[in-house]
Amino acid sequence: TASMSHLRRVLFRSGATSMPFDNYLGDKLDTIEYLDAMLSDPSSGLDLPAAAIVETVQGEGGLNVASFTWLQRLEKVCRAHDMLLIIDDIQAGCGRTGTFFSFDNAGISPDIVTLSKSLSGFGLPFAVTLIKPEYDKWKPGEHNGTFRGNNHAFVTAEKAISHYWSDDSFCNEIARKGDYLAQRLQEIVDRHGKERLMAKGRGMMRGIECGNGDIAGAISNCAFENNMIIETSGSEDQVVKCLPPLTITDAELDEGLDILDKAVGQVMRELGRKAA
């Protein structure tokens, strides 16, 4: 369940074996049972991996969301087969899904967690790898290098964490905005094409599944023409991806969603005319 193996860029897949994500095949297959069966059978062709790497919400993979139950069962499989559980929280972490870690409410205890992206709180290059003490084999000063450590980013990261995460107020504000974002995206889907579009995601990591990359790309281009940059993700770039700043104001969020609403409407109307 290596998160990199779900990327569309084959270059990054070397050394990782891809296993199906939560609900990848719908109700047809329990993907955790499938993983456990593959690991339990020495003739399955799957070598026992050192770890399972997973995003709780797949960023580049198209905003697919792992349920908390699925994550709990994945952890049990890892423990049963003496594998480490690694959570890739580079996109989904640092409050993006509502809590600081995307798995905070999932009832799991990963062995390793990766963090980056907004961690610096100031747009500076900054990343950390969190390791449980029993697995931390680095000796003091051993993990170093010429370009390791951005002093400016250390200062801004500490300030951001102490300012925004000293209590639950910021977390609650993200949850409120995330619920509103979900509501607005669902309204856009219902208004312009609920037969072809689907709102998806968690917290402030949400988007619209468009079925194919042509539709999503056209929506992104239309939004750009109206002064908003919005990216796409998924195996075929078929998901319009909304990752607004966590500190965005309500007015700014509405402005962006209004532009997205207009873009989706324009593209879907054009598709309707072509189909007619």
pLDDT in tens, the chain (276 residues): 344 444 444 545 567 788 999 999 888 899 999 999 999 999 999 989 999 999 999 999 999 999 999 999 999 999 999 999 999 999 999 999 999 999 999 999 999 999 998 899 998 988 999 999 999 888 888 877 777 778 899 999 999 999 999 999 999 999 999 999 999 999 999 999 989 999 999 999 999 999 999 999 999 999 999 999 999 999 999 999 999 999 999 999 999 999 999 999 999 999 988 877
Residue 13 pLDDT: 55
Residue 266 pLDDT: 97
CB atoms < 10 A from the CB of 173, how many? 15
Residue 220 pLDDT: 98
Chain length of the chain: 276
Q: Which helix (H) or strand (E) holds 196?
A: none
Buried/exposed code over 138-170 (b: 16+ C-beta within 10 A; e: otherwise) = eeeeeeeeeeeeeeebeebbeebeeebeeeeeb
CATH number of 31-165: 3.40.640.10
Q: Name the residue ranges covered by the structural domains of the chain.
A: 31-165, 168-275
Residue 110 pLDDT: 98
Q: Which two tokens stand for residue 232?
A: 């796409």
Residue 57 pLDDT: 97
CATH number of 168-275: 3.90.1150.10
